[in-house]
Chains A and B, each alone.
Chain A
Amino acid sequence: MAMTSRTGISVDRLDAAARRGATPIDVVDTLPPTRRKRASRVLLARHSPWILTTLSVLAGVVVWAIASRTLDSPLFPSPLRIAQALVESIGNKTLLVDIAVSVRRIAIGFVLGCVVGVPLGLAMGLFPLVRAFCDPVVQFLRFVPPIAWLIPAIMWFGIGETSKIAIIFYMTVFLVLLNTMTGVAAIPRNQLRSAENYGVSGWQLFAWIVFPATLSYSVAGARIAMGNSFAAVVGAELIAANAGLGYRIVDSGQWMAMDQMFSAMLVLGLLGIAADRLARVLATRFLWHYVHASDHAD
């Protein structure tokens, strides 16, 4: 009996096609129309990460190219022009310096934010007194966005590194803290009771139960914070800075160097995706049983 794949196409047939150098999609085309429709949906779903990503990127570039061609304005440089500016700015190192400056600010603010946010969130989740004391301030401050603190931060800390790091730190602390606190509340009562049953001490409960049980929540908060960090750092650099990707956008604008401006924005987007992917890969690689701990409990 021939084995069939989920598409309804026999595996032998796919193998034969592969030997001929044909792709599964070519095989789909040989099927009768009714089966073709279903099979191509399944194939698209399976290979969609790459097919659809490529299509999506291409579509974006094409739309931009058409807009740039139609408008024919120096304010809308073509994709090719932007790519050239990108290569140039990599060549003369300005872009690499900007990236290094912005990434450094994000990294320091982000790490400090996590280091403060996780323990504070755990403490607020565990101790009603700490929560009662901190919660009003936290609830108030979470609605004062980082951008609102930009001007006071620059006036207090100057236009150097400190003001930018402070903004990233501020934003990260709240996201991580609130998520961690939610994580503590979500620990199954039976986990705490069984630990109590085995006679855990205070610090054992903290280190062996509460911290690992909430880790997935803390990591989720950190990932959101990482994404927002890019927005926050650009905001800070737009207002006052002498290097960084946000500064590059302002500076290019002043010189009407639109190609350079868009290349900086392109890099921002790519860096953001890279950081998020890295966080996800690290989380799945090293923390998967923590990250999925909450999904597992059913």
Chain B
Amino acid sequence: MPIEPAPVSGQIADPGSIAVRRVSFAFGSGRPPVLDDVTFDVASGEFFVLLGPSGCGKSTVLNVIAGFEHPAQGTVLAGGRPVEAAARDRVVIFQDSDSLYGWLTVVDNVAFPLRVQGVATRERNERALAVLRVVGLKGHERKYPGELSGGMKQRTQLARALVLDAPILLMDEPFAALDAQTRSILQDELVQLSVTMRRTVLFITHDIGEAILLGDRVGIMRAGPGSSIKETIVVDLPRPRRRGSAEFGALYERIHRSISEEVQQALRREDSLLS
């Protein structure tokens, strides 16, 4: 008999679903926990944004789901199967574009996951070029990452993730290092992509506006240490969403208040520890 309660809903076993169950995590035993009892679900095809103050462990949640880090307690299910290691069904897009291979051209970078799988050169180049067209990098295939702007590097990362047709995309603040203009363009494109492709996206950010702009739901994390999900908010606004609208503003206020409370409580906790 399973110890954890079995998933009730039938859609949980869908390849795109993510289930995080009572996950705790610490960098080494004896160290204070980064995550303490994190539980949430992401439905297949859903765009879920994880939002929280910096240092609260958002990226750690993503790394645990990706299989890069292993939880001290709890389980993560991806597509209904327990996560044990990194795998091709959950592709990560990193904040830092240093994950691109500097010695490979853009097309070779994007084709790399296929090369690992043993796909023939001709086929993998065709597939890579097709994805490069989707992310708007046609004409830049032969460049090296060092010759690209920050935005183009992130497009390349996105293409390299999309080429695998993975049901789940894990995006770790992919636009945080970009200038406002480029960020806004890429946000719009990502919304369109996620609507047409219907992949499950787990998107990490500390930017409230970005969270409302992109997410179907927004999970707000508590300030660390020992962080968990404070509340989950459904973003029930039609797309494309505009930052100027009244509903957007109201939601922004609500989330902002929730995070501020969290930060202030954390500061009070620290004060009481110090006194």
Q: Report the count of interface residues on A (CB-CB < 8 A).
A: 26
Of the candidates B86, B98, B117, which one forms a contact with A191 in the assembled complex, judged by CB atoms under 8 Å apart? Answer: B98
Whether a CB of chain B sits under 8 angstroms from the CB of A209 is: yes
Q: Which residues of B contact A193 (CB under 8 A)?
A: 66, 68, 86, 92, 94, 99
B residues 100-156 near A (Cβ < 8 Å) are 100-103, 112-113, 115-117, 144-147
Of the candidates A194, A198, A208, A296, which one forms a contact with B102 in the assembled complex, judged by CB atoms under 8 Å apart? Answer: A296
Nearest to B109 among chain A residues (CB) is A194
A residues 244-293 near B (Cβ < 8 Å) are 289-290, 292-293
Whether a CB of chain A sits under 8 angstroms from the CB of B87 is: yes
Interface residue range, chain B: 20 to 34
Query: Given A198-B112, A199-B87, A199-B88, A289 and B96 touching (CB < 8 A)?
Result: no
What is the 8 Å Cβ interface bit string for chain A, positions 176-212, against chain B (1 contact, 0 not)?
A: 0000000000001011011111111000100011001
Of the candidates B99, B112, B116, B144, which one forms a contact with A190 in the assembled complex, judged by CB atoms under 8 Å apart? Answer: B99
Contact B146–A295 (Cβ < 8 Å): yes
Nearest to A215 among chain B residues (CB) is B103
Nearest to A287 among chain B residues (CB) is B103
Contact B102–A200 (Cβ < 8 Å): no
Q: How far is the CA of A1 from the CA of B237 in the complex (A)?
A: 54
Of the candidates B66, B98, B117, B160, which one forms a contact with A297 in the assembled complex, judged by CB atoms under 8 Å apart? Answer: B98
A residues 113-172 near B (Cβ < 8 Å) are none
Q: Which residues of B contact A199 (CB under 8 A)?
A: 86-88, 116-117
Q: Which residues of A contact B229 (CB under 8 A)?
A: none
Q: How far is the CA of A95 from the CA of B113 in the complex (A)?
A: 56
Query: Given A289-B103, A296-B146, A190 and B98 touching (CB < 8 A)?
Result: yes
B-side interface mostly:
mixed
Q: How far is the CA of A199 from the CA of B90 in the complex (A)?
A: 11
Give min CB distance, A189 to chain B, whole Å. 9
B residues 52-70 near A (Cβ < 8 Å) are 66, 68
Whether a CB of chain A sits under 8 angstroms from the CB of B164 is: yes
Whether a CB of chain A sits under 8 angstroms from the CB of B91 is: yes
Q: How far is the CA of A131 from the CA of B70 in the complex (A)?
A: 26
Q: Which residues of B contact A236 (CB under 8 A)?
A: none
Give min CB distance, B170 to chain A, whole Å. 9
Contact B86–A212 (Cβ < 8 Å): no
Query: Given A188-B96, A199-B87, A293 and B103 touching (CB < 8 A)?
Result: yes
- Best-buried of A198, A215, A289 by chain B (most CB within 10 Å): A198
Q: Which residues of A contact B98 (CB under 8 A)?
A: 188, 190-191, 297-298
Contact B96–A190 (Cβ < 8 Å): yes
Contact B145–A197 (Cβ < 8 Å): no
Contact B102–A197 (Cβ < 8 Å): no
Query: Given A196-B68, A199-B116, A292 and B102 touching (CB < 8 A)?
Result: yes
Whether a CB of chain B sits under 8 angstroms from the CB of A294 is: yes
Whether a CB of chain B sits under 8 angstroms from the CB of A106 is: no
Nearest to A297 among chain B residues (CB) is B98
Whether a CB of chain B sits under 8 angstroms from the CB of A226 is: no
Whether a CB of chain B sits under 8 angstroms from the CB of A213 is: yes
Q: How far is the CA of A293 from the CA of B144 in the complex (A)?
A: 9
Q: How far is the CA of A54 from the CA of B106 in the complex (A)?
A: 43
Query: Given A188-B96, A188-B98, A191-B101, A296 and B144 touching (CB < 8 A)?
Result: yes
Q: Other than A188-B96, A296-B147, give 19 A-B pairs with Cβ distance below 8 A.
A: A193-B66, A193-B94, A194-B92, A197-B66, A197-B86, A197-B91, A198-B88, A198-B113, A198-B116, A198-B117, A199-B88, A200-B116, A208-B112, A209-B101, A289-B144, A289-B146, A293-B102, A293-B103, A297-B98
Query: Can you offer 28 A-B residue contacts whose CB atoms are under 8 A?
Result: A188-B96, A188-B99, A190-B96, A193-B68, A193-B92, A194-B99, A197-B86, A197-B88, A197-B91, A198-B88, A199-B88, A199-B116, A199-B117, A208-B112, A212-B101, A213-B103, A290-B102, A290-B103, A292-B102, A292-B146, A293-B101, A293-B103, A293-B146, A295-B146, A296-B146, A297-B102, A297-B146, A298-B98
